[in-house]
Copies of this chain bind each other. A is one copy, B any other.
Amino acid sequence: MKVSKFGGSSVASAEQIKKVLNIVNSDSERRIIIVSAPGKRYSDDVKTTDLLIRLYEKVINQLDYTHKKQEILNRFKDIIDELPLETDILTEIDRTLESHIATLKDQPERLLDALKSSGENFNAQIIAAYNNEQGIPTIYLSPQEAGIIVTDDPGNAQILESSYDKIKEIRNTNKKIIIPGFFGYSESGHIVTFPRGGSDITGAIVARGVKADLYENFTDVSGIFRANPTVIKHPEVIPEITYREMRELSYAGFGVFHDEALQPLYRYRIPVVIKNTNRPNDLGTYIVHDRQINHDKVVSGISCDKGFTSINIKKYLMNRQVGFTVKILKILEKHQISFDHMPSGIDNISIIMRSSQLAGKEQKVLEEIRHYCEIDELNVEHDLAILMIVGEGMSATVGTANKITDALAQAGINLKMMNQGSSEISMMFGISTQDADAAVKACYENCYNR
């Protein structure tokens, strides 16, 4: 059995929804379908979810929201008319929006979650109704009916471990099941949305719950590219990567599939495939637990993410002082700052984190380090980019590091930092933000075009 999730652009219009249902109906294994809210139909279009957030803002600021609501209703009316769908679902949509507003207007966080989730919820109902009308037995299941019970943390739901047993039961139906992505219900019955990448997370939770053989994640690209396509023209698609590789790449800015969605799949080793709704015959990228290493291409992908800061500390005889690093990290912990890398020498240490982690806290943190740690020198480097070279088996292959440093040296790019731990599947290089694109180009050339 497959769980198939379709992203926003895959379900943005009647035409796209028909494509999706062709895909779904062409394979009897595709039994459980997770759908997003209607996304962009063209590049300047506005996502339904964003319209819903604007509606929320109008309501909360006690402004007239009729026009905004109508805009949303029109998005769904276009879909309903073009399919065409016979049922009078639009009245129901309108009533639901008004009901959320009426009952939750004094609880902004609840209202936001309820409105934000409506895009997925209405779309799932439309898609299920239409497929049913086409003669394919299909039912809509709300996340509550599907058993997706989550923590009561608005905008940041986490699945409850106990949900999986309930979700498992939805295996037992012969109909196609359509479930809206992006949200669950708390035990007290409230709608609570997942953090970013929400529909991916719903898909992963359901795939784990029903112990799917495959979790298909349909989007608008034919898989995961080896490098950012806005930097590299027509980069190769990666045929197969591991969860760990995926996590390193998505952490470092590969946005196709949200890394948090991998967590439910990890333990039961459920494979994921990233496929293109518009080119369903393309092979896509498989994300698996283990894979064979291709020794000609040990580097699976190259990413470069900007917006990092490094706190650099020098202290003479630092390595002799047991507990020095703990002192510094305790200060970061106190300020709830998580760091990403910590390359060090014997008398110095660099702590690298996303600049956003330090926002508004930098002065305080630096002061405390100066005050408590008896350091010799302290400086902060902003505008750092982190180049990540990711690949299983890379660390066991002689010359991989050289391939990269060679490419960077030839491109005249200075390496500020390097970091690679034992048995790692990634190497990290700290470079200037201004060198980021050139670095990706140079590495890509050296890894794949020679």
Contacts and interface: CB of A to CB of B under 8 A. Distances in A.
Interface of A: 244, 247-248, 251, 263, 266, 310, 312, 314, 316-317, 319-323, 325-326, 329-330, 332-333, 336-350, 379, 381, 395-399, 401-402, 405-406, 408-409, 412-428, 430
15 contacts: A247-B317, A248-B346, A312-B422, A314-B423, A320-B338, A322-B337, A325-B329, A341-B344, A343-B421, A343-B422, A345-B420, A350-B423, A350-B424, A381-B422, A398-B415
Contact of A420 (B251, B336, B347, B418): B418
A415 B325 CA distance: 25
Contacts of A322: 332-333, 336-338
- This protein's copies in its complex: 2
Contacts of A244: 347
A252 to B, nearest CB: 8
B346 A247 contact: yes
A242 to B, nearest CB: 12
B401 A248 contact: no
A402 B409 CA distance: 7
A269 to B, nearest CB: 13
Closest 7 CB pairs of A and B: A350-B421, A399-B409, A402-B405, A402-B409, A343-B421, A418-B420, A323-B333
Nearest to A413: B398
Given A344-B341, A406-B402, A396 B421 contact: no
B402 A414 contact: no
